[in-house]
Structure formats: C-alpha cells, structure tokens
Amino acid sequence: MKSLVLQGAIRDAGTVPLLPPRIRVVSLPALAAVVTVVLWASAFIGIRALGDSFSPGSMAFVRLLAAVVPLTAIMLVVRLRRRGTAVDDDRPVPAWFPRGRALGLVIAYGVAWFAGYTVLLNWAEQHLDAGTASLLVNLAPILVALAAGPFLGEGFPRHLVIGMAIAFAGVVLIAVGGSATADAHADWFGILLGLGAAVLYATGVLIQKSALRTVGALTATWLGALAGLVATLPFAPAAIAELADADASAVAAVIYLGIGPTAIAFSTWAYALARTDAGAMAATTLVVPAIVIVMSWAILDELPTGIGIIGGVLCIGGVAIARRLLPRTRRGGGVESVAPAGVIGAQGATAVRDSGVR
C-alpha cells in the first residue's frame, strides 16, 4: 500500500522514476548510425549493379542531383519553421549558409567526400566486386588515426603501427585473392582506386567533424552534397546521354542511391557524428563489409575468394587494433570492455539526459 501511495505521489509531482536496470534504451545517435551503415552497405551493391549503365562520373552526378533535390526541399521546410519560431520569439532568422572558415570546411568536405570519393568508388567497382571494394574502403579509420598523428599531435603509438601492418597484409591478400565469381574480377588498378576512395573518405570525416562544431547536421549535408554536385558538373553531358539510354530500373536505382545512401544516410551520419566521437563512429562502419558481402552474394551472386575474405578480416582486425576497439585485460586479470553503442541502462540514460545530448 505504501509503495502505491509513493508511486502516486511521484506521478502527481511530475517526476519520472528511473527505468529498471534491465530495461535498455536505444539512443537516437546509435539508431542513426545503424540506419547509416545499412544504407551505405546497399550503396556498394547498387554501384556495382549500375556499372554497365553509367560511367563513374555521370553516376556520381546523377546520384548527387537526386540527393540535392529532396535535401533542398527539407531545408526549405525546416527554414520556414525556424523562421516562424524566430519571429514569435523576436530572434534573428538563421542564415542559409555558414560563413568564413565554417563554409570553407563544408565545401571542402563536400568536394572530397561527395564528389571525389563517390567518383573513385564508382570507378573502383568496375574493377572489384562490391564486397572487396567495401573491405578496402573500411581502411579509412586507420587513415583517420594516421592523420591525427602529425596534425593533432597524437603521435604514432605501437597499437597504431601494429594495426597498420596487419591491415596492409590484408590489402595484399585481397589483391592476390581476386574474386570467386567468373564475371567479377579484382586487379591492382581497382585496389589503388579503392585505397584512393578510402583516403578521401578519411579526409571527409576529419573535415566534417571540424565543420559540425559550428554547422548543423542537415545544413552540412545539404551544402556538402551541393558542393559535390557542382564539382561533378563536368560529367553532366555524359550523364544526360547515359540516362537517355538507360532502362527504367537503372534510373530508379541511381535515384535510390541519391535519396537513400546519400540524402538520408549522410544526414543520419552527420547527426550521429555530431554527438559521438569520430573514432567510434568510424569504427561502426566496420560492419559494412559483412553486410555488403551477404547482400552481394544474395543479389549479385558475387563473392570474394577465401583468400580475399581472409584479407578482409585482417583489414578489419588491423583497424580494430589501431583504433583500440578490442577488449583489454586489466592488471587484476579481468577484461575491460566498452558497452555497445546505443545500449544503456537507467543510470546511463540519466547521464545522457543530464549532459544535454539528444
């Protein structure tokens, strides 16, 4: 009886009691990360499937055009809502574009990631199966750590050097392994293109993380896609000609690449990145190759060879070591591990709420 009275008093006071310890809450940044990796995995499949219909540059242009249109519409709706709120509160209307250094960072990240990375990845998947391409691209977290050494003063610790060596061995095995499917292939030129895409991917992550300190996630995604679209304008004439010759399914697929893996996935990525450590977010993309390989086998009937898969495991393992993602043994003999992102108990939920993270 006393417990019922106490619960009623808490309810009437408007205080929400802590959740039972066994109840787990999924955070919005974690959910955004899950949406991102699934959509990005599907992009590798779409790019590989569209290789016969579109050249690398024209595919990038059409994809970005398909992304910019809905992003612009969303920006208009959000701006109108904010303008109405600002008028009611006598606050200044937020500007369309950031200024100064922030604008430069957004443009740089858009050109590097939306334009350069997309073109190189499209090109690479004309020489590699989708699974192999995704394994190579996921070397980006190591490249992020490498850049943090000289530019952020983090140096080159032993775990980074060991991880790099293991990942490099994995790249060699991927190149030697080739593809298990007769009509798919893997060559050194494709390997180099995949590594180049990984470099631009890492560059984009580093620049974007700096930009998100002062620019909202939606604005950064919209302006980045717009900058990438402008950078790929030289491919517009070829894109128009290839669209005229492509069948309806190919056109629908390239539009999906723009709406799903670009407009939606980059927005959810930016949202999560702004609320999570860059290294942790880059590490979540390690699950992408596994998803890609399963989807590639189911949809395209393509698989890397056993040697190539072993090389991919080495690449992912090297990244995990370099980023210190593996559990470490404590001095007392226990194992120190990090709880999965997005799964927190009642006390963790309270800490997140009190920190102002949403």
pLDDT tops 90 at residue 18: no
Question: Of 193-202, 209-218, 349-358, which has the strongest mean pLDDT?
Answer: 193-202
Indicate whether 55 belongs to any domain.
Answer: yes
| 5 pLDDT more than 50 | no
Q: Is residue 76 part of a domain?
A: yes
Letter for the amino acid at 330? R
pLDDT at 346: 31
pLDDT score, position 343: 30
Across the chain, which distance is largest between two alpha carbons, in Å?
A: 77
Please report whether residue 17 resides in a domain.
no
| pLDDT for the residue numbered 193 | 94
291 and 37 in contact (C-beta within 8 Å)?
yes
Q: Which amino acid is at 192?
A: L
Confidence check: pLDDT of 1 > 50: no
Q: Is residue 225 part of a domain?
A: yes
Count of domains observed in the chain = 1
Per the structure, the complete domain to which residue 89 belongs is given by: 23-329+337-355
Q: What is the pLDDT of residue 328?
A: 58
Q: Which residue did the predictor score with more confidence, 86 or 351?
A: 86
Q: What confidence tens digit (pLDDT) does each residue in 90-105 have? A: 555 556 678 888 899 9
Residue 47 falls within a domain, yes or no? yes
The whole-model pTM stands at 0.72
Supply the pLDDT for residue 312: 77
Tens digits of residue pLDDT in 31-77:
888 899 899 999 999 999 999 999 999 999 999 999 999 999 988 88
For the stretch 296-312, pLDDT in tens is: 888 888 877 778 778 77
The answer to whether residue 130 sits within a structural domain is yes
**Inside any domain, residue 194:** yes
Cα-atom radius of gyration of the chain, to the nearest Å? 23
Q: How confident is the model at residue 135 (pLDDT cuts 50, 70, 90)?
A: confident
